[in-house]
Amino acid sequence: MTPTRILYVDDDPDIRHIVELSLSLDPSLQIRAAASGEEALAAIDDGCPPPQVVLVDMMMPGMDGLALLAQLRERPATAAVPVVFMTARGRQADPAV
């Protein structure tokens, strides 16, 4: 069985490391991580097969999660890829995606 390709994007190196370690325990998942939206787009554009799922931190400096989502939707290779937001936001006042 071919592993599911996941791209995980988070600017916090500690959280990124923990998530990478946790997800890598499942042999059916292939994890690729990026520290920013820009780095994620570069990883997608590097010629490797595109991810099948993207996990994105909502709050990142520079290109935040919503801006990255907009960029992913503009690219044919990722226009229909499911994107899951992972965030510390939890207040009712925070905007829904």
* pTM summary value: 0.87
Q: Put the strands of the sheet holding 29-34 in their side by side order.
A: 29-34, 4-9, 53-57, 83-86
Average pLDDT on 51-70 reads 95
Matching CATH number, 4-86, of 3.40.47.10, 3.40.50.10490, 3.40.50.2300, 3.40.80.10: 3.40.50.2300
Cβ atoms 65, 59 nearer than 8 A: yes
Q: How many CB atoms lie within 10 A of CB 33?
A: 19
Average pLDDT on 92-97 reads 56
Whole-number Cα distances in Å, 27 to 1, 4, 57: 10, 9, 23
Domain boundaries, the chain: 4-86
Q: Which helix (H) or strand (E) holds 62?
A: none
